[in-house]
Chains A and B, each alone.
Chain A
Amino acid sequence: MTTLSRRDLLRLAAAGAAAPLVPRGVAEASAPAVPLAAGRFFTAAEMALVDELSELIIPADEHSGGARAAGVAAYVDGRLAEYDPAIPELRESQEQWRAGLLAVDALSRQATAKAFLEASVDERNALLSRLAVAETDPKTPEQSFFVELKDWTAHGYYTSKIGIHDEIEYKGNTLQGEFAGIDVATLPPVKPVGD
């Protein structure tokens, strides 16, 4: 978990405060056919935004479904809903997600004069690219939020049925009479030297 200072969180929240998260207008083609209901932690609007952000990070492609089909938004929502705010690190994580989503929308309005979910796919990708530039060493709260967003999305996706079976095509967790792989007895023996 990326740890943010309280000051970072306040800045992150302030970045989004000017523009409350109320998506309007018609959703893009990639949005879910049925609008997402409010989650246990997120509002309906927040759920929609998390759903779209996660799908941008791990999209459906010709190989398999993406984060949307894998239910990543519900995974993130369920996890945050179980976070006990009495524990400061968990409360900060909840605050970071709320503030981060506000900030994404605010940055979108700055750049395109549209809420994130109203921006075009290209505009959304451009905004996410800006947040992703420093993912190995995030400097701003928005960049840190991207790292968290990607980390949770990857965890939610690659532990899902779609992620494990359709995407990675993992073949294990099954019974095997004999181990798969190459029998070392069929290889030439090593003549050990030792230094």
Chain B
Amino acid sequence: MLPTLESRIAEPDLKRVYDAVVVGSGAAGGMAAHVLTSQGLDVLLLEAGKKLDIESELKSMEWPYDHPRRGQMPYTSHALTRNEYNIRQPPYAKGMPWKTVYSYVQGWSGTDYSKNIVVDEKDHPYTGTSYAWVRARCLGGKTNIWGRLALRLSDYDFKAKSHDGYGEDWPISYADIAPYYDKVDLYLGISGHPEGLEHLPDGRFQRPVRLTVAEVKLRQSMARSGRVLTPYRAGVTTDGVKHNKYRSRCFGRGACNRRAGGCDIHAAFDSPTGLIYPALDTGRLTLRTGSIAREVTVDPAAGKARGVSFVDAQTGEVLEARAKAVVLAASTLESARLLLLSKSRQHPNGIGNSSGHVGHNFCEHLMGPGVGGIVKDLVGKARTLDDGRPGSFYVPRFRNLKDKRSDYIRGFGFEGGAGTKMFPARVQAPGFGKEYKKTVRDYAGASIGMSAFGEVLPRYENAVGLDPEVKDKWGIPVLRFSFKFGDNEKKMAADMADTAKEMFEEAGIEVVDSNREVLTEGWSIHELGTARMGSDPKASVLNQYQQSHDVKNLFVVDGSSHVSASCQNPTWTIMALCWRSCEHLADELRKGNL
């Protein structure tokens, strides 16, 4: 029997100077804890939220009828609606009568299973322009419920400026990061099918998910125009990872379609079981939850980072953790907030911000356009098992690779799926009675849909800053957004919708929904780029090792370092980059360079 995790969590010694203090326990923070402890460093990990008893939260196989509210969170809680994001301004929860207000993700199915993972908007306000900001404050953060699409970037992304002249190239190329993608693949497990695409490099894949009849039909049709539909590349171990006793291989169970998701056997990667518990087992990691970072403290003599000042969530006490190196992994926007909050004599605009670029060049993925359809020859057919897959399919980018369009630059991909889900797809069918019931039944296995994720260009003017007045529950100034999609995004969105519809029609799929509307900024939960890397300290915040140009012992290892968003989901790149940077950090620490 394993010792309980609690028995291995020691209260940190705050008089001690750790080798590194890491802020945040999601994909980046977990990876930093794993790599730094593997390198022999003594690490303190601070997490703002609680450690949840995650298996009893997620209950991945619970049937809706075995739950008192059919899986719904208590009715006194409210999830912000699409319309509320349109007609209200942040802070969205202000003045709302609900006991708890959540972001839109709690408007999906199975919300009782994720209600303790995502934040209450009332306690965590922000201001400025419309933005659907989704946050999870608990051990593991958003990795507890992430969508699991695990993709690599390529030199079409890292060298995008060289390709089309816009923005900045990354200070690394694919060859620099490829070995680290491999390490992430092998350590955590990834499911996929190799396609040999230059712009979406293959990984070290485990067993892929299989496709439904409708998905094969679409794949074969798209192949005629040289476009690819590939089984969902999931950050899920389908064959198991023998070196990790906390995780099971995927057994193709049912709740993968329940979103916000979560996997209670941890076949899907989550930071606690994938990274943090094994790091605790090294004896070199100390974990402190309920620790809300408010500032990177500075050594007044040297101007270097001294540690992290944080609020104890239980007592409200302000404490300081000291370390030789400070590693921020609090998420793209929270890390930028921390840098801006860390004002001192040496760093009057916030630590690491001599360039003035912290909070700027904020980018992400555009969502909304997509298509839903019916495969006629599957209507009324005998039921098959189509569910229990960690994901269904992905259509990689095909735009602006060889040719260049005149109307917009960069590209988009599609995520989609087909087949029978636990809750049938066409309950919105018109009418009532026997005919309605039969329609829902006959169409349940014949539905297919996909929606686009497109690159939002980094622009200096898209930014977050500190609000001069509004503070959160702990008295810490909140972020003020100034972020809008631009012309390139609008033109891309029109093409996404047209192309999706065309591809369905070419495959002989009857289109029943064609979505053209762009969702509120933030919807993709892929915010990136507020502390970008670069070789020029005047135009970037971090070097190629996610190390502050200004402060040598300060690293920012999350999505804030990304120079551009690409159109691929960022989690796998966040972890590969973090691995590379933390090896560098350990090396530099040993050499006495920090």
Residues of A within 8 A of B (CB): 56-59, 61, 63, 66, 75, 78-79, 82-84, 86-90, 125, 128, 132, 135-136, 150, 154-156, 158-161, 164, 167-185, 187-195
Contacts and interface: CB of A to CB of B under 8 A. Distances in A.
A193 B231 contact: no
Given A57-B433, A184-B231, A192 B226 contact: yes
Chain B interface: which size bin?
Answer: 35 or more
Contacts, number: 196
Contact of B385 (A87, A128, A176, A190): A176
- Name the prevailing secondary structure of the A interface residues: loop
B52 interface: no
Interface string B158-174: 00000000000000000
Given A57-B433, A58-B437, A158-B423, A171 B65 contact: no
Contacts of A135: 430
Nearest to B72: A79
B405 to A, nearest CB: 8
A82 B99 CA distance: 14
7 contacts: A171-B384, A171-B387, A172-B253, A176-B385, A179-B209, A181-B209, A190-B228
Given A58-B437, A159-B65, A159-B423, A172 B75 contact: no
A195 B64 contact: no
Nearest to B403: A195
B430 A180 contact: no
B552 to A, nearest CB: 42
- Name the prevailing secondary structure of the B interface residues: loop
Which one of A78, A176, A188 has the greatest number of beta carbons of chain B within 10 Å?
Answer: A176
Contacts of A58: 432, 436-437
A171 to B, nearest CB: 4
A194 B211 contact: no
A175 B252 contact: yes
A28 to B, nearest CB: 15
Which one of A66, A177, A193 has the greatest number of beta carbons of chain B within 10 Å?
Answer: A193
B434 interface: yes
Contacts of B231: 184
A131 B389 CA distance: 40
Nearest 3 CB-CB pairs, A to B?
A: A193-B226, A173-B254, A172-B387
Interface stretch (B5-13, B215-223, B475-483): B215-223
Interface in B55-89: 61, 63-65, 68-71, 74-76, 78
Contacts of B226: 190-194
Contacts of A176: 251-253, 385, 388
A176 B99 CA distance: 40
A155 B69 CA distance: 11
A90 to B, nearest CB: 6
Contact of B223 (A61, A86, A188): A188
B254 A184 contact: no
